[in-house]
Structure formats: structure tokens, C-alpha cells
Amino acid sequence: MKKLFDEILHFGIIGVLNTILGYVLMTVFYNVFHMGYWQSSAVSYTIGSIFSYFANKKHTFHVEGGNGKHALKFALHILVCYLLAYGLAKPMVKAVLSGYNKEIVENIALVVGMGMFIVFNFIGQKFFVFKGAGKEGK
């Protein structure tokens, strides 16, 4: 139980840093550079995922070495989480806020997608990407 708590704590700390970075990038790409919903979130998640992979591999799941298998699994996992979270968030928010303009709906959907992504991401990293790869007892 302590190991799971430590993993969630480290994942959370890294996630807060990554979420702040991602949110700033995503809102700048969407609102300043007028990139679309999918483009702004995709560029933001690509940048954040690189940071997340190395930080979580080392500090959350205690995986040593440069295993290309983990990187490939991580990339696939991030893609699935991203498509699932943002694919669900936009229509959900649009249904709830049907009377609002597109920019408001999409800005809120970006935040909802972030929340969904965080949950999907932890579950996938723990049980798919780094499953059984960490040091015992950590």
C-alpha cells in the first residue's frame, strides 16, 4: 500500500508540473496562435509527454535503463489516452454547454480533457507501460 501511495504522490507532483506546462502551452496555442482544438492539445501533449516519460520512468516507477520497449509502449499509451480523453471531453462539454459559443466550449473541453487524461494516464502507466519494471520494495 505504501508503494502505491508513493507512486501516486510522485505521479501527482510530476503531473502538477506537467499539467501547468501543458495548460499554458495549450491555451497559448489555442487563444494566441489560433490553432484548433486538436492541434493545440496535440502539440501541448507531445511536449509534456516527453517530460512525463522520463520523469515518471525514473521517479515514480523507478525504472532504470533505456529500454526502447517502454518508450514505444509509452508513446502508444499516450496516444490512446489522448484520443480517448479529448475525444470524450469535447462532445460531453458541448452537450452540457450547448448554448455557449465555440471558444468557451472548447476552452472548457480542453480542461475537462486534461482531467480525464490524468486518470487514464496513471492507470495505463502503472498497469501497462511500466508494469513489473520498477525496483522491488520501492
CA distance 35 to 31: 8
Give the predicted TM-score (pTM) of the model: 0.77
Alpha helices by DSSP H, listed for the chain, are: 2-27, 37-55, 68-96, 102-124
In a domain, 24, yes or no: yes
Q: Residues 6 or more apart from 3 whose CB is under 8 A from it?
A: 137, 138
In a domain, 137, yes or no: no
CA distance 84 to 101: 23
Based on the structure, what is the number of domains in the chain?
A: 1
Instruction: At 102, give phi and psi (nearest 5°).
Output: -55, -45
Mean pLDDT, 10 residues at a time, over the chain (138 residues)?
Answer: 87 89 93 95 90 87 78 91 96 96 95 92 85 56
Q: In which domain, by residue range, is 125 found?
A: 2-129
In a domain, 134, yes or no: no
